[in-house]
Amino acid sequence: MFDAPRRTLLVATAGSAVAALAGCGFALRRPAKLSFSSIALTGFAPRSPLAEALRRQLLLQVRELPTPDKADVVLQALEDLREKSVVASTSAAQVREFQLRLKFHFRATTPSGFEWIPRVELLLTRDLSYTEVQALAKESEEAELYREMTADVVAQVLRRLAAIHV
């Protein structure tokens, strides 16, 4: 089907494409490297999913202290809200679309009050279509969207914390 020079050209082209992709520098995103050794989390609700996800990621690099007086960094949650509002409905008042919001306000200080990171507001939104026929599936889709938004907020907070050089 292919003659020898053409086959050689195809193999050489494919080989150079593979070599170019291998040397392009692509790498998966790694968690931000933190320069401090201890942190205290304050202001979170007792069973906040965001606090738990943040705690899991932080404990991979630093230790969490129960009180802020001896920590290198104090992360204060000023607001941690999950909201759900109706965006679209039919003329018969049946809901067709929701908007999910995850709002997180925080700041990072030293125990003495020096502000490493001034007040930051993170707001993520996702749209969720809805039908009563698929109510159970939409409930699990909503939970998954909140998990993804939480992971995104945690990654953003970690990147901001990585900018702190103690």
Q: What is the pLDDT of residues 86-130, one digit of tens each?
A: 998 888 888 899 999 999 999 999 999 999 999 999 999 999 998
d(CA 72, CA 165): 10
Average pLDDT, the chain: 89
Query: Does some domain include residue 49?
Result: yes
State the pLDDT at residue 91.
Answer: 87
State the pLDDT at residue 19.
Answer: 63
Residue whose token pair is 């001896």: 70
d(CA 165, CA 35): 6
Query: Does some domain include residue 6?
Result: no
Intervals of the chain under pLDDT 50: none
Supply the range of the domain harboring residue 42.
Answer: 34-162
Query: Does some domain include residue 10?
Result: no
Query: Does some domain include residue 19?
Result: no
